[in-house]
Amino acid sequence: MKKIMIVGSAGSGKSTLARRLGRMLDIEVIHLDVHYWKPGWIEPSEAEWLRRVERLTRRDAWIMDGNYTKTIDIRLAEADTVIFLDFPRLLCLWRVIKRWWRNRGRSRPDLPPGCPEKIDLPFLRWIWQFPRIRRPLIQEKLKHARGKRIIVLKGPRDVSRFLRDLENRAAG
């Protein structure tokens, strides 16, 4: 595992898992949100964003967390491992609300400076609709991802088990 792509709904724990794996495997963590958003929640042009992701994926090793559907093919082509956090939507919603409360008014480590934590109805709707709209798209992409290690984790217990197994393999 040298190039690990982590996808899943907002609130599923992509960034947290990326940081933990980065420490365990001593691999650079790339939070896509940091590279996408400009201060004040300004979006880059599509062309600029695609070029940026292409540059990031050319690095020798990385753990990259984020969804960004328009770049999934670019990341998937370079990744050797994909971790899909396929968590229940109510858990993701709860975690996002808790995260917003804990970080309100400031940027968290997986966001760029000038992008304070926020929550709004379109974002909550995106999370609620993730299983119906985004999940099938991700599953379809992963079904056709040849030569990739695909890991689907259904909840926090699966993540804990995965990390424990990884530590045991590294120690063993």
Task: Find where tokens 């998937």 sit.
Answer: 76
- Integer Cα distance of 75 and 83 in angstroms: 12
pLDDT score recorded for residue 172 = 73
Task: Find where tokens 């559907």 sit.
Answer: 69
DSSP string, 16-79: HHHHHHHHHHT--EEEHHHHH-BTTTBPPPHHHHHHHHHHHHTSSSEEEE---GGGHHHHHHH-
pLDDT greater than 90 at residue 94 = yes
CB 15 within 8 A of CB 110: yes
- Percent pLDDT > 90 in the chain is 94
CB 14 within 8 A of CB 151: no
Least confident among 23-27, 73-77, 145-149, 167-171? 167-171
The domains of the chain, with CATH numbers, are 3-164 (3.40.50.300)
CB 11 within 8 A of CB 93: yes
- Integer Cα distance of 80 and 4 in angstroms: 6
pLDDT score recorded for residue 102 = 92
Arithmetic mean of pLDDT over the chain: 95
pLDDT score recorded for residue 78 = 97
Task: Find where tokens 């934590």 sit.
Answer: 117
